[in-house]
Amino acid sequence: MGVFKVPFSVCDDLTRMVRNFYWGSAEGKKKVHWRGWDNLLQPRDKGGVGFRDFRMFNQALLARQAWRLLTKPDSLCAQVLKARYYPMGKLEDTVFSGNVSSSRQAISYGLELLKKGLVWRVGNGRSIRVWRDNWIPRPFSYKPISPQGRCHFRFVSDLRNQNGSRNYGLLTEYFVDADVREIVKIIASPRMEDDVIAWGPGKYGVFTIKSAYTLAFEEVHRGTDVSSS
């Protein structure tokens, strides 16, 4: 499951087997399901049993592979895949379309989840695109919520003065207050180190399968009350 995208039909068959085993159902005999299956998929600390949704678990495993490609670009695997699939661009910007190979399907499926949790830690700001990349660490949006309008800047480094300090006048002119409050904290002082990509849902910015699975689960059930089922 950590190498290829498993067909949904296979994932559903695995889920059905686990569900039947848990409920004690046999062929032709079904027992009463006292709690909804989505409720049982919840973590134990939220009243569930902690069963895995195999679709989400497969995607979390593939997100780990995409994370390795992103954070270890000099590895042989990363170099081979880059040369073949995205020679002129970045992995996080790559969109796979049309009839694709199983390896490309796997990368694309994992990357779909990974991009939802990626967030840049701002250093000099030269690698981070203001409107396209995730770089504002907050729960509801890693990107600015301000309208882009006719802005002439592209990178976070463009939001600084020549001496490296934040350009407060520029910020208040082009960004709404909610963005300004966060940005002034991020670029509070001049920094010369390189920007670093991190995993927002993980502790210390480190990717884990558990945090990726949790993110996938929350994305699917966002706005729904699973506990009521």
Measure Cα distances from 184 to 118, 169, 172 in Å: 21, 11, 10
What pTM does this model have? 0.81
What does pLDDT average to over the chain?
85
Q: Are 13 and 42 in contact (CB under 8 A)?
A: no
Distance CA 94, CA 79 (A): 15
What residues contact 133, with CB distance under 8 A and at least 6 apart?
120, 143
| Residue count of the chain | 229
Among 15-19, 35-39, 50-54, 99-103, the minimum mean pLDDT is found in 35-39
Give the other-Cβ count within 10 Å of 98's Cβ. 5
Distance CA 39, CA 22 (A): 14
Please give the share of the chain, as a percent, with pLDDT higher than 70.
86
The DSSP secondary-structure symbol of 143 reads S
Digit-coded pLDDT (tens) for 103-159: 888 989 999 999 999 999 999 999 999 999 999 988 888 999 999 887 888 999 999
Stated as kind and residue range, the H or E segment containing 185 is helix 177-186
Quote the tokens at residue 10: 């296979």
**Residue 228: its pLDDT value, please?**
46
Q: Are 216 and 62 in contact (CB under 8 A)?
A: no
**Residue 31: its pLDDT value, please?**
60
> Averaged over 61-70, what is the pLDDT?
95
Q: What pLDDT band is residue 225 in, cutting at 50, 70 and 90?
A: low
Please give the share of the chain, as a percent, with pLDDT higher than 90.
49
Digit-coded pLDDT (tens) for 8-28: 999 999 988 887 777 766 566
Digit-coded pLDDT (tens) for 175-203: 999 999 999 999 877 778 899 999 999 88
**Nearest residue to 102 via CA among 3, 1, 216:** 3
Give the other-Cβ count within 10 Å of 120's Cβ. 22
**Residue 197: its pLDDT value, please?**
93
- Find residue 197's DSSP bridge partners: 120
Stated as kind and residue range, the H or E segment containing 166 is none
For residue 53, how many C-alpha atoms fall within 13 Å in the half-sphere facing its CB?
A: 22
Beta strands in 122-203 (DSSP E): 196-199
